[in-house]
Amino acid sequence: MYIRDNTSFQIQSPSEPKTLIVGAGFCGLAIAQALADIDGLIVVDAGSAFAEPAKWDKCAGTEPLIGEKYRARGFGGTVALWGGYVAWPEQDDIDCKKTDGSNIWPVRYSELSSWRRKAEAALGLSETADAEGIAKACGIANAIKDCGLSPRLWRFVQTSAPKRPSKSVPIFLNTVLQELIFSSDDKQVVGASIRCSEGQRHEFPIRRVILAAGGLENARILLSADQENRKRFSSWLGRGFMEHIVQEVTGLVVPNESWMGKIHKRINQNDCGEKALALALPRALREKEKLPHAILHPFYHSANGAMSLGLMAEQRPRTSNRISLINKMNDDGIPRLSISWAISPVDREYMSRSLMFFEQSLLCAGAVNRAAGKWASLCDHAFSPPWCGHHMGTTRMGSSKSNSVTNSDGQVHGVSNLFVSGSSVFPTGGWANPTLLLLALALRQASFIRNEENVGRMPPVSLLNPVR
């Protein structure tokens, strides 16, 4: 791929419809690499060759939570800011999530798992590893089981600089997608309008668009594309926004000399700091108690040699947690965002109950409760989440336009050549950090698009009567 960080937008054969990838984060780059040899593929990214915190605009609503600290723009995207922890979800994060009696995820866990290895390779992880295997190898599997918990595994990816793939796909930096232009029946995107850094606008014909612009921006682009409310998209667009709820759990202290306290240390010794274990409630208990997936992990060592714990919990999707547009433009000439996001009383109650089960197990494992009972209720906390980096759910996938924005391939319902990729398509959040799963979905999507190309299924695009 070659990178054009220039002010003029020059594409080869400008009248030929292009396949446009919006976003050169890990997701967009993975798709670009997988499709590098298809004709007319180009990538645009709003940022420069070195990704930096995104100065998109001030969002209304919960802006202090989701400001520039939690998104980056430029080559490589938000991994410029990330922690590098990756994890693979459990089967019940995907297969057992139900709403109105039907599965929310339109892809089976087994199908997604067949893409896991490729996603790991894209992140430079040389092999697949599982939590049970690591716990066994460290001699602590039985101890974990005896106190009624299940291990979960995090691995660390060292890089925040994605490889530049070799094939010659042009990547235009400092180039913002401003507008999508639709056919008069709204069933296809026929054109795109972009703006270069010095303000020039260019319009060009489109064969296919893949939005890989991040968990908030994917939805913003689609919301901007239907401001006249032609009902091009599902009413779920922008709704169901989820974060992982992350916070330190105080009150329970784990002595370093207990097996629980040794988890981090032993794993670090065994695997040169590349893997860490966390603890989850077993699936049967979560199912019986209808609890979301939450994990506890060693958080930090205090001066007296004890260890505190960190909680990372799934948030259930709610339509009231949403992003929408406000009637003002940002500096890039796209409408500003408003974000409504809250941790509901129901979320708090679930987390509180999960923590009570954790407490029972960890006390058996030698933890000390410094403030009996108190810590276990999140309702006791003035809950102000310090974290807001996993943006999920705003363009969720599902079986139809009535319950989702895209289908299982990330293809927008009703618009055959418009695709969305990234954690915005997750209908539920599960316990795991999102990037490994979003990459697996992106590679699966690229394979779908390649098949589409191979069988020539793409309808020819027409520029007749385009509609904005």
Q: Which residues bind ligand FAD (CB under 6 A)?
A: 22-28, 44-47, 51, 70-71, 73-74, 77-79, 81-86, 176-177, 212-214, 217, 221, 389-390, 422-423, 433-435, 438
The set of residues, in sequence order, having a beta carbon less than 8 Å from that of 340 and lying 6+ positions away, is: 61, 62, 320, 321, 322, 323, 324
Q: How far is the CB of 72 from ligand FAD (least distance, A)?
A: 6
Q: Is 220 left (phi over 0), alpha (psi -120 to 50) or beta?
A: alpha
Q: How far is the CB of 77 from ligand FAD (least distance, A)?
A: 2
In the numeric block, which tokens belong to residue 351? 């987390």
Sequence-ordered alpha helix ranges (H) in 4-75: 26-34
Nearer to ligand FAD, 47 or 427 (CB): 47
Q: How far is the CB of 86 from ligand FAD (least distance, A)?
A: 5
Nearer to ligand FAD, 176 or 210 (CB): 176
Q: How far is the CB of 432 from ligand FAD (least distance, A)?
A: 8
Q: Do residues 87 and 151 touch, judged by C-beta distance below 8 A?
A: no
Q: How many CA atoms lie within 13 A of 211 on its CB side?
A: 32
Q: What is the largest CA-CA distance in the chain?
A: 73
Q: How far is the CB of 439 from ligand FAD (least distance, A)?
A: 8
Q: How far is the CB of 343 from ligand FAD (least distance, A)?
A: 18
* Packed helices 26-34 and 435-454: angle between N→C axes, nearest 10 degrees: 30
Q: How far is the CB of 463 from ligand FAD (least distance, A)?
A: 22
Nearer to ligand FAD, 46 or 415 (CB): 46
Q: How far is the CB of 180 from ligand FAD (least distance, A)?
A: 10
Q: How far is the CB of 262 from ligand FAD (least distance, A)?
A: 23
The set of residues, in sequence order, having a beta carbon less than 8 Å from that of 152 and lying 6+ positions away, is: 87, 90, 131, 277, 278, 279, 280, 295, 431
Nearer to ligand FAD, 45 or 359 (CB): 45
CA angle 64, 70, 72 (to 5 degrees): 130
Nearer to ligand FAD, 49 or 81 (CB): 81
Nearer to ligand FAD, 207 or 220 (CB): 220
| Euclidean distance between CA atoms 57 and 54, whole angstroms | 8
Question: Which of these, 360, 44, 7, lies nearest to 179 by C-alpha position?
Answer: 44
Q: How many CA atoms lie within 13 A of 241 on its CB side?
A: 27
What is the chain's length? 468
Nearer to ligand FAD, 225 or 254 (CB): 225
Nearer to ligand FAD, 423 or 428 (CB): 423
Write the DSSP symbol of residue 20: E
Question: Which of these, 464, 465, 459, 468, lies nearest to 208 by C-alpha position?
Answer: 459
Nearer to ligand FAD, 337 or 365 (CB): 337
Nearer to ligand FAD, 94 or 176 (CB): 176
Q: Do residues 232 and 405 touch, judged by C-beta distance below 8 A?
A: no
Q: With H, G, I as helix, E, B as strand and everything else as coil, classify residue 14.
A: coil
Helix, strand and coil percent figures for the chain, each rounded to 5 = 25, 25, 50
Q: How far is the CB of 290 from ligand FAD (least distance, A)?
A: 26
Nearer to ligand FAD, 74 or 317 (CB): 74
Q: How far is the CB of 376 from ligand FAD (least distance, A)?
A: 27
Sequence-ordered alpha helix ranges (H) in 246-405: 259-271, 283-289, 345-364
Q: Do residues 220 and 335 touch, judged by C-beta distance below 8 A?
A: yes
